Structure 1
Amino acid sequence: MIELDEVGRTFTVSRRTGVLRRERRVVHAVRDLSFTVAAGEFVGYLGPNGAGKSTTIKMLTGILTPSVGRVRVAGLDPSRRRTALARRIGVVFGQRTTLWWDLPLKDSFQLIRHLYKVDREAFHRRLDELCEVLELGAFLATPVRQLSLGQRMRGDIAAALLHDPAVLVLDEPTIGLDVVSKAAVRGFLRGLNAERGTTVLLTTHDLGDIERLCRRVMLIDHGTLAFDGTVEDLMATAPGETSIEEVVTRLYTRAAPS
């Protein structure tokens, strides 16, 4: 479902070095990145701030074009087939919403139905299912701006799934949620993957999400892949450590350039 082959992405940045002078330099956000994600996998994609996670996601969703290498998602080139790809994937960004701020939640869902050209009957069937599992019914008529963070996050997840995508990309989907909301979102995602076979790529700083949801973990640091394996393999890289947080911290340190 997801393929990256020797992908790199560079940015040119400038900084002031004098009154009239600027210095330009090339930053390698991602370099020589290769991995595949098979249909039905639930994969955690970890890395410290600035490691290249967000750049990777932007390339997977067609927001950015790779400087070098090849990217395919659901068989499509994201940067060249962005509209077609949008019908095959769902994306949730925990720190920004895709919902219309001043509209009731149900009206946002109706607009999304028209954007994705979802059949009316299929839309209502899917919405009823999502409302039941994510417990959205009590606030469907509430403007998005009045929703709590947990309610909005559940609304964003539902919005990303209304067109029944084959691939779901999640960027910090449980950020800022309370214990109850976090458990509800985790339970839903686990069921979505197990029952519908949806392929999920999850980026998060909450390692509890990784422990409870992911069978496979990839760790990126300084733009390159530092680890790719099962959670058990990850724990085995640091004998004596008892928590995934301690193991990941050690791997970050090990991957850092000298």
Structure 2
Amino acid sequence: MSKINVDSLAVPAFSVAITDDGVLRYDGINDILCQISGLTKEMFIGKTAAEFMSFEGAQAWETNYRRCLASGVMDEYEELAETPSGLRWWRTILSPVVDETGKIIQLLGLAADINDRKRAEIELQAAVFIDIVTGIANRRRFDLDLAAAMAQSMDSGVPFTLILADLDRFKSINDTFGHAVGDEVLRQTAVRLRSGVRERDRIARVGGDEFAAILSSATDGAVAVALDRISRQFMRPIEFGETSVPVGVSLGAALWKPSMTADDLRAAADAAMYDTKRDRAA
């Protein structure tokens, strides 16, 4: 089979020639793909990927091409790639073109711009892990973050801390002020909790009026400082229009130990939180 001229194809297409010394150089791009990508024939044809792309982008493209060459069969993949038209998602079908001896002499690429669909898909996947009221992570995301924190600590030997935070008298807030104010209290609780921890710490709403934070703090002293910092965030009432809502929060912390399961850690933090509630009620 002779080399394919992509200009004759009615879909976005490009081609890569394989030189005798194994260098991969583009030898074709049709007008349809030029229009979509912003690439021109002048900047593309006769060049290697490294000659007109960033190092990371060129490395990713060449890796895909080399994989297709090594397998000798059609390959299909999705990738986030930077072109003159911007950073966009593409689906590429890559096929080897062989000569009469069976030698691969060219790669034919058929490309489709899937940016809108892919970004919508990513947003939908992300929404699965977001609490709709507060905009922070939900229980599903928290469970994954907790598992990741445990795995990291087992590898590093450095413990972490789980803090549970429970709003005091939240039902009475809903009953007295209504659910709109109740939702605002939840949102402001998330904001204040975020302000009370460090940027690398993770927070989540794990129940109706229950929140959690995973802290990298690994000593009793550091945990005490974190608890005090969070408590101070709730010393002033939450303002909602002309409504002022005093909000208290009960906190419980547990330092992870290698023998603990996730349930063990949650139970320890939960017990500490209810000790706090009991002490405050006494």
Q: Confirm or deny a common fold (TM above 0.5).
A: no
Which of these two proteins has the greater Rg computed from alpha carbons? 2
Point out which structure has higher relative CO (alpha carbons under 8 A, 6+ apart).
Answer: 1
TM-score by length of 1: 0.25
